[in-house]
Structure 1
Amino acid sequence: MSHKPQKTLVLVNLGGPRNTAEIEVFLTDLFTDPFVFDLPLPEFLRLPLARFIAKKRSPKVKKIYESMGFGGGSPLVSETEKQARTIERILNQKTNVTWTVKVAMTCGFPHIRDKEFGKPSTDTIYLPLYPQFSRSTVLSTLNHLEKKFKECPVGSGGYVPSFASDPKFHQISAKFIFDFFTGALKPEDFLHFPTQKTTLDWREMDLVFSAHGVPMRLIRKGDRYMEEIESSVNGITNELRLFGFRGQIHISYQSKVGPAKWTGPSSLEMISSLAKEGKQIAVYPISFVSDHLETLEEIGEQFKDLALELGAKAFIRIPAFGIYPPFIEYLAEKVLAVDKSIHHCFCKEMGGESLSTCRFKYGS
């Protein structure tokens, strides 16, 4: 009797507290990550400072999560689990393999360091859900895996790289935005699906691509995140023009924490400026693939209230992909195409740094 081969796919995201009790744990994981909370301090100073900040911010963050209506936590884990179930079904339909798709987070639970997540290989594939490379997301994920398995997964056959410059990603993103504005999406597939109506022509709107910001310190270390964002936006814009979009395009960055200089312009500044000019504004979360705090609360509530107060004719939040079928199909294709064809250190190329166990550190 023959048995189907078995494979595991692990979808990796940053994470979020699933309930109030997990908030401080999530923040501690976040701020103790050296690729996220990157300060020029020795570890014996950096780690206690990170834990102090996490503890101090917890009460404020708790109030924000409570206001979102998801039981005091973030919907990011559950939304990623919906994506996992959807891609698992597609992979099992497309192949003669029994696929199991799991969800792992680099902050909070279920944590990527847990025993259930095995060593990257052609049978255990890791897919970080970050379209653009950044030290704070992709390199952080690779660092977690290297610490756990004593080798960098890049080149193992068990790792799917980021896809910001892929023309197919641009096409799917543009089609998603078009489908949103033309009423082709299923509202029940999304959290807090925007229901506001406007008589204005979407093709004439000012479209803001809002990305999660990172400290400029990371950019100075060689992180090409801003270039990745620009590559995504340029490709998507070209595709949107084919759908008749004629409006102005803007890039901005949100979610700044602390006094240090971050990537800019900030989304708050960008939206304030456009609102004062009486623009009709649409915001698309270019660096996110599922809705959570930054899209639902920051864009959907804070930015919206500010824009309308300052005089915007309209403000529309475009959701993140979620389980949008073309996007999930695209991810499945990326997984099925993964192999050992990576022959260089793209961490060094894209993030300015090779990990200590990099296969290609001293080669081509």
Structure 2
Amino acid sequence: MTKKGIVLVNLGSPDSTSVKDVRKYLNEFLMDERVIDMPYILRMLLVRGIIVPFRAPKSAEAYRSIWWKEGSPLIVLSKQLQAAVQQNFSAPVEIAMRYGNPSPKDAYDKLMRQVPGLEEVIMLPLYPHYAMSSYETAVVYMEEVHKKFNYPFRLTTIAPYYNNPDYIHALAESIKPYLQQDFDKLLFSYHGIPERHIYKGDITGSHCLKVNDCCHVASPAHQKCYRHQTFVTTELTTAALGLSHQRVEQSFQSRLGRDPWLTPYTAKRLEELPKEGVKKLLVACPAFVSDCLETLEEIAEEGKEIFLHAGGESFTMIPCLNIHPLWVQAVTKWIKEPVSTASVAL
């Protein structure tokens, strides 16, 4: 038997809600060339000179509004998933964060100590969809650390699972109980990315955002197209729930800066929906598998306030998969059969 270890990779979080720790985290996050993709000097001037000094105090306040007594929700939930998955394996399971702690080196070193002669580490990025600012940067960073410290084991990376039947089933079942309440529409709110990231990820150079209805026209570009993959997740989940398309909508959140990002924008739709007769709203956030600042504060607090202020009557944010039994089951299956994560086509 191959001597194995497992690492679950998530986005990350500040170590605390202090402005100092949030500033440190934002600097690391926003200086990532796959997040703000501009030349280093320009990126440094923008991030350290403009964005972080103004954003850190506001972000620290936002983190304080959702922080749990055990710590950062994202870190706490990642550890809970780690513990749940560990129950199904004799091989050790660790977590690593793309930004902040625990680092990839922390995770690798722990696995090395626990498994003398470690031969393989199976890495599961906790991002269902491929985007250069999420899945890609996490995988590349884990590989860079692996190479830099010359670890002897090989890395096996589980592919994006946006249309994997196990993921869709877990997502649909996590949403289903909330459909028992009276609602007008279910909004799938995905993390947004700049349109330029879509162009950069187009391996054909001629399809994404150039071909009419590009996300629904078959193309090799789709293997790295975040926009296409979110549409697939929405459509497959809608079908699994047996909902009509009239009761479902999709939008994108977390816009930063003035450049064009994927539309429609969640905040704008939350303001418009009540005027269109949508008074009772459910919101799911499939781009996140662990609740975090972007779900607990941006959607459950800010989003709710926008919607109700615009005339909405009820607003429910559906929790992320977190440690839903079917999600734990799916992760366990993929780790046991990492070469069997091929997804079904829409």
Q: Same fold (TM over 0.5)?
A: yes
* SS of residue in 1 equivalent to 2:95: strand
Q: Deviations over 1:56-103 (max 9, x none)?
A: 4211111111222436963111111111100111x22xxxxx221111
Asked if residue 224 in structure 1 is aligned to residue 225 in structure 2, the reply is: yes
Moved more, 47-56 or 291-300: 47-56
> Counterpart in 1 of 2:120?
123
For these two proteins, the number of residue pairs brought into alignment is 306
Change (3 A) 1:275 1:72: farther
> Counterpart in 2 of 1:239?
240
Q: Deviations over 1:7-56 (max 9, x none)?
A: 321110111113124212211111111111112x2x23323433333344
Counterpart contact for 1:206–1:248, Cα < 8 Å: yes
> Counterpart in 1 of 2:311?
311
Asked if residue 208 in structure 1 is aligned to residue 187 in structure 2, the reply is: yes
Q: Distance in 1 between the 2:136 and 2:28 partners?
A: 15
Q: How do residues 45-124 of structure 1 correspond to structure 2 at under 5 angstroms? A: 45-52=42-49, 53-70=51-68, 74-89=72-87, 91-92=88-89, 98-114=90-106, 116=109, 123-124=120-121
Q: Distance in 2 between the 1:72 and 1:59 partners?
A: 22
> Counterpart in 2 of 1:193?
none
Determine what percentage of the aligned residue pairs are the same residue. Answer: 29
Name the aligned partner's letter for residue 58 of structure 2: K
Q: Deviations over 1:148-207 (max 9, x none)?
A: 2339xxxx662111101213322221111113444xxxxxxxxxxxxxxx6x2x4xx211
> Counterpart in 1 of 2:164?
166
Change (3 A) 1:146 1:51: farther
Q: Distance in 2 between the 1:289 and 1:341 partners?
A: 17
Counterpart contact for 1:122–1:158, Cα < 8 Å: no
* Unaligned runs of at least 5 residues, structure 1: 93-97, 183-197, 343-364
Tell me how far 1:104 sits from its aligned partner: 0.6
Q: Deviations over 1:305-339 (max 9, x none)?
A: 11112112321111111110011100110111114
> Counterpart in 1 of 2:220?
none
Name the aligned partner's letter for residue 322 of structure 1: N
Q: Deviations over 1:225-264 (max 9, x none)?
A: 00010010110011111xx667521110011111221111
Name the aligned partner's letter for residue 198 of structure 2: I
Q: Distance in 1 between the 2:245 and 2:227 partners?
A: 24
Q: Distance in 1 between the 2:199 and 2:315 partners?
A: 34
> Counterpart in 2 of 1:260?
259
Tell me how far 1:278 sits from its aligned partner: 3.2
> Counterpart in 2 of 1:191?
none
Q: Distance in 1 between the 2:333 and 2:83 partners?
A: 16
> Counterpart in 1 of 2:26?
27
Q: Which segments of structure 1 move beyond 6 Å, counting only runs of 4 or more?
A: none
* Unaligned runs of at least 5 residues, structure 2: 113-117, 149-153, 202-223
- TM-score norm. by structure 1 comes to 0.77
CA RMSD of aligned residues (A): 2.6
- TM-score norm. by structure 2 comes to 0.81
Counterpart contact for 2:163–2:236, Cα < 8 Å: yes
